[in-house]
Amino acid sequence: MRRILVVEDNESNIYLMKFILEKNGFEVIVAKDGIRGVEMAKQEKPELIVMDIQLPKIDGYEATKRIRKVPELKDIPVIAVTSYAMTDDREKTLKAGCTDYIEKPINPESFINIVKKYI
C-alpha cells in the first residue's frame, strides 16, 4: 500500500487529511511535531510527506531541510501545507526543499489532486 506521512499538530487537520487520503487508498502515518516528522520519515520512508509549516519543536521548513539531507529521502515529494498565503511564502517553502504547496483551509479536491500528481 502507498504510504503517506502527515506531519501536522492540529487534530482537525489530521482527521481531514487522514480521511481524504485513506478514502483514496493510501496508508497514513502521522507525526505531530517537526522532530518526530524527521524521525518517522527516516524510519518509514513514505512515498510522500505532507508537511505543516507551523509545528512544535522545529517548523516545517527546518524539518524539510533535515529530511532533504538524508540521501534516501531526498527524492520523496514533500507537500507544504500552510495558512501563510503570501507570494514569498510559496518561494520560502520551495527553497526549504518542498515539492509543492497547499494553502489552508484545505480544499479536499485540490488536496487529493496535488497528492496524486506526485504519487
Burial of 3 (0-12, 13-18, 19+ CB in 10 A): middle
Q: Number of structural domains, the chain?
A: 1
How confident is the model at residue 38, as a pLDDT? Answer: 98
Could you tell me the pTM of the whole model? 0.95
Q: What is the CATH number of the domain that holds 12?
A: 3.40.50.2300
pLDDT one-digit tens code per residue, 13-47? 999 999 999 999 999 999 999 999 999 999 999 99
pLDDT one-digit tens code per residue, 49-64? 999 999 999 999 999 9
pLDDT one-digit tens code per residue, 69-88? 999 999 999 999 988 666 68
Show the domain range for 87: 3-118
Whether 116 has a pLDDT exceeding 70, the answer reads: yes
